[in-house]
Structures are given as C-alpha cells and as structure tokens.
C-alpha cells in the first residue's frame, strides 16, 4: 500500500521538478575524521627509495608517525626544497600510526620531517641472492586452540594450490558417496 506522496511520485506527478536519480545536497559537505585515542606523538622513520633499474623518480617514505599534522620537505640535488602536506596520510589500524609516501617527480637528495631526516648519500651495496632459500617446515603436528594464525612456508609455491585441489576433490567424492547412499536407500524403501 502506497502513501499518497509515494504514489504521486511513482506515477510521475510533478516529476518535472525532480527525479529519483537526482542527488540532493543540503549545505556544505561534512568531513569525518577518526583519530586514535590516547596515543603519544611518534617520530617518523624516513627512507629514500630509488628505482633499482632504469630511470625514475625517487620516493620518500615516512613510516610510523603520529600525529598526522606534519610537513615533509623534499630537497633535490642542487635545487630548492619543496614541502608537502601529509594530511591525507592513511593510518595503520593495529599500530595507530600514519604512513606517507612523498614524491615530486624528480631525484630526491634529502627528505626531512620534524627533526628526522634521510640522505641519499648513504648508498647500500645491492644484495645478490646466490643460494636457494632455506625451506621452512612445520616442526610438530599438534593442534593449537588459540586464535592466532601461523604462517608455514612449505617451500613449493604450488603447494597451496595442490592442497586446495585435493581438498576440493575430497569434498566432491564425499558428496558423491552420500548421494549414492541416499539413492540406494530410497530405491529399497519405495
């Protein structure tokens, strides 16, 4: 049962004024910010990330800082510095800290936020892996009732897919056996 106003709207009376798909905006939009409670200020950990091969822009990563009202200053080699606002930085829910990646499309020599700074002059030698990584296996088969999750690397990347396939086939076989038993019982009863 429709109310008169709904009925008129549905039948199209007065539809020249508005339609059901028009957006209605009343006043200025509201912005909602959710901030963690009772968290002390934390200084950022800064890193300058450069592309491994080829040319590309550098990125300054500010990790694990709080509060978000900070400014990142990027300095190019032999050029003026540029400041970026980090107000749009996402918060990591478990640690209640912010993370921000700042870039300006150019090569960054120095990155600074608060009193912390990172220089690109500190270069690291590239790490080359020559040996096969060690395979980690489960040490015991005991079941644990706590809700924590453990990661066990079986060594073979296809192992997870194979386990899923075998489990699916087992379920399919169990369903087939159950249906066959039910059909046999039904044949003997009727």
Q: Per-residue pLDDT tens for 59-75?
A: 899 988 888 888 898 88
| Start-to-end C-alpha separation, the chain | 48
pLDDT number for residue 90: 86
* Structure tokens that stand for 57 in this block: 């822009």
Residues 109-150 have pLDDT tens digits of: 889 988 888 888 655 555 555 555 565 555 555 555 554 455
Distance of CA 58 to the CA centre of its chain: 22
- Report the mean per-residue pLDDT for the chain: 75
Determine the average pLDDT of the residues in 98-117.
86
Percent share of the chain, pLDDT over 90 = 10
Q: Which whole number is the average pLDDT over 74-92? A: 84
pLDDT of the residue at 148:
47
Within 8 A by CB and 6+ apart from 62, the residues are 44, 45, 46, 70, 72, 86, 89, 98, 99, 100, 101, 102, 111, 113
């Amino acid at each position: 049962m429709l109310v008169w106003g709904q009925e008129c709207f549905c039948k199209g009376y007065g539809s020249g004024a508005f339609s059901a798909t028009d957006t209605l905006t009343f006043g200025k939009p509201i912005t909602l910010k959710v901030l963690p409670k009772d968290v002390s200020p934390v200084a950022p950990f800064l890193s300058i990330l450069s592309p491994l091969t080829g040319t590309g822009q550098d990125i300054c990563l500010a990790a694990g800082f709080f509060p978000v009202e900070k400014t990142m200053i990027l300095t190019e080699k032999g050029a003026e510095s540029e400041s970026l606002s980090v107000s749009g930085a996402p918060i990591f829910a478990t640690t209640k800290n912010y993370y921000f990646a700042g870039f300006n499309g150019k090569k960054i020599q120095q990155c600074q936020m608060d009193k912390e700074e990172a220089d690109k002059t500190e270069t690291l030698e590239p790490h080359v892996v020559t040996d096969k990584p060690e395979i980690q296996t489960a040490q015991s088969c005991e079941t644990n009732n706590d809700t924590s999750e453990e990661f066990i690397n079986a060594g073979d990347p296809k192992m997870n897919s194979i386990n899923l396939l075998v489990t699916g086939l087992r379920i399919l076989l169990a369903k087939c056996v159950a249906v066959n038993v039910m059909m046999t019982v039904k044949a003997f009863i009727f």
